[in-house]
Amino acid sequence: MARSYPLKKYRNIGIIAHIDAGKTTVSERVLFYTGISHKIGEVHEGAAIMDWMEQERERGITITSAATTCFWTPIRHTRLAQTDDDRMKLKGEYEHRINIIDTPGHVDFTAEVERSLRVLDGGVTVFDGVAGVEPQSETVWHQADKYAVPRICFINKMDRMGASFEKSFASILERLTPYAVAVQLPIGAEENFTGVIDLLELKAFSFEGDHGEKVVEIEIPADLKDQAQKMHSELVEKIVEHNEALMNKYLGGETVSVDELRATLRVATIANKLIPVFCGSALHNKGVQLMLDGVIDYLPSPLDINESKPIKGTNPATGEEIVRQPDDAQPLTAVAFKIATDPFVGNLTYFRVYSGVIKKGSYILNATKNNQERIGRIVRMHANHREDVDEMYAGDLGAIVGLKNTTTGDTLCNPESPIILESITFPEPVINLRIEPKTKNDQEKLGLALKRLSDEDPTFRVTGNADTGETIIWGMGELHLEILVDRMKREFNVEANVGRPQVSYKETIRKDADGEGKYIRQSGGKGQYGHAKIKVHPLEKGKGFVFVNQIKGGVIPQEFINPIEKGIKEAMEKGIVAGYPMTDCEVTLYDGSYHEVDSSEAAFKIAGSMAFQSAAKAANPVLLEPIMKVQVIAPQDYLGDVTGDISSKRGRIESLDDRGMMKVVDSFVPLSEMFGYATKLRSMTQGRGSFTMEFAHYEEVPKNIEQQIIEGKK
Ligand code: GDP
């Protein structure tokens, strides 16, 4: 076996959009057209298309797969082919493999978006041609900025009443990036939207056939000729700026060829210096194929992306840095980026190979967890079927069936050449709720459901309380938990009483203090003796827990040190102020004593626990609450109400900006004040305001509020 596509003919991309912009429809059309493209030439063209569509109707296209593979040859190469033979030859030369990585649209799933951004090399951002840039488009855009993902834009829904390419394009320039360049111009608008003009080649196209599958070159309509010419010149000027030789040619009055322009636009797009903007209507089958050409022409292959973002990791044994090349001959480096459950094959671990080859039947090392597993089966996901394969190569995306101990973000590698790639860091879950299964049977189903769901989603955590039999689940937001609870009920048939979402508070200390714990029982039989003296010291935010052992000369025997630390950790789980977990605290064990006969691990554990409690009490313990970064966008008329409301929520307004006709309010607000905000904002702004929210940091709770929390009033 060998690879069938060279790496430079790979495009690993995500279709990025917020809910309702048309991501599903665009993805469906992409899979539809690429399905046709793959079949053309294999059998008689017409029959192949029909056949494929029958299958599509029967089985439905799988667009829920975390990574779907498809194939595309740019239209400009195949369009002019007269015979199947010609077409086959052209495909051999120009066909590319596109892997589409699913990205979720809802901002509550920030972590999901981020992990998909980690494994893709480029993105297609979809916008609604009526609304242009919406608040949530900004959130996903900034996330992609964070990972410097090269992008092209697709302004969708050009057929809708009120759609405007000009306005949508202007909103991208104004609100997202000054680097956007229009590479197309729509022909007609709303119900008269019929095709697009390619501004690079200055050619016009319409989309014919029942499903727009035939891309036909037409005359540029007379009324658009001047505008197209003008926009073409602007585009050329923007492109040549990125290449000195072309710039000189251009300024010298020589003609710059379309191929040269395309190549320079590609380099600039990959460097995040230009962002080509396309348009169309996915629903009405217009423009999707040319956007796919854009994916091939402008988005990076794994080789391109390696130049700006090399594959770096560390050797888990030595800590030394390792750099790998996107090359089959290098040792295997892969990342598990999603765990899913498939009704037919069971547990699927989606991975991306960065270097080397992954082989069925071989053993791989999960370097993050330090265990080895055998790969029983590897599958590649296509639009309408699953393909079993023996091997996958650098740049490939696929899924392993039946891995047991791998979770999202783990690095998979060759046992002889261990490496851990920078792992995906997930924000902390800031909200939790209690679940109480109705019957014993439900209890069992709940256990299974929780295991599955937390394997799939690393931002979802589960803790139990052995004393009360209570289960608590933790997540990123109200909606996140709501959806998880809904899945538990629907997919796993768990009947349960579900509590109200609660804020995940924490505790910490504010000054140094000493503490002593003595646990002595000496009445008859074998006694108990444990004794520890500790100092506590507040640490910087985010440092967690640090334990320092300063015991010398066997004042406490070595075997009792660990139990003391354990006791301290246990005490930290239930803080002094209101029973919330303690964090950011250093504990130094410096003295104590023991008894030859009566000392035991259990006694020292209790002593450690007691010492911590006494020290923490004296160390000015405080309550911490999660603070959210909240952005509200609303018309000017409602600005006073919105900011007044934020202030009344103990919010801190950071900035006020204008965005077109709207006002943007950036602020920090305690999570506990944000419950039900979606409804409140809607009624406050008559439905015209919108907001986004993400976790920022923990902050000390003011004393008056702390009292309310302790008394359970908040
Ligand atoms: P998603 O939430 O981003 O996945 O969006 P969908 O693909 O589900 O589309 C949201 C709605 O917009 C659906 O009702 C689609 O039929 C509709 N839609 C998608 N693309 C177009 C388009 O090109 N034109 C029009 N008029 N509607 C579209």
Res 709: pLDDT: 86
Atom number of ligand 1 nearest to Cα 18:
3
Share of the chain above pLDDT 90, in %: 57
For 245-310, strand residue ranges (E) read 275-279
Each residue of 288-326: pLDDT tens digit?
999 999 999 999 999 999 988 899 999 998 989 999 999
Buried b (16+ CB within 10 A) or exposed e, 206-215: ebeeeebbeb
Give the other-Cβ count within 10 Å of 388's Cβ: 11
Residue 17, phi then psi, degrees to nearest 5: -165, 160
Residue 17: CB within 6 Å of ligand 1? yes
| Mean pLDDT of all residues belonging to the chain | 88
pLDDT in tens, 671-688: 999 988 888 998 898 878
pLDDT of residue 419: 96
Residue 280 Cβ inside 6 Å of ligand 1? The answer reads no
Neighbouring-strand partners of residue 497: 436
Nearest to residue 510, comparing CAs of 584, 569, 573?
584
* Residues in the chain, overall count: 714
Q: How far apart are CA 14 and CA 30, in angstroms?
A: 12
Give, using CA atoms, the residue closest to atom 10 of ligand 1: 20
Give the residue, out of 18, 20, 106, 130, with the most ligand 1 atoms within 8 A of its beta carbon, to mutate for a pocket test.
20
pLDDT value, residue 382: 84
pLDDT in tens, 33-84: 888 644 433 333 444 444 444 444 444 444 457 888 999 999 888 776 777 7
Check pocket membership of 19 for ligand 1, CB cut-off 6 A.
yes
- pTM of this structure: 0.75
Give CA torsion, residues 535, 538, 544, 548, to 10 deg. -30
How many whole angstroms from 90 Cα to the centroid of ligand 1? Answer: 33
pLDDT of residue 111: 62
Ligand 1 near 281 CB (within 6 A): yes
The pairs formed by 469-472 with CB atoms below 8 angstroms and a separation of 24 or more are: 470/434, 470/435, 470/436, 471/434, 471/435, 471/436, 471/437, 471/446, 472/432, 472/433, 472/434, 472/435
Predicted local confidence at residue 110, as pLDDT = 60
**Residues 259-291 pLDDT 10s:** 999 999 999 999 999 999 999 999 999 999 999
The more confident residue out of 223 and 525 is 223
Ligand 1: distance of its center to the CA of 134 in Å? 15
Averaged pLDDT for residues 13-21: 86
Is 157 a pocket residue for ligand 1 (Cβ < 6 Å)?
Answer: yes
pLDDT of residue 51: 45
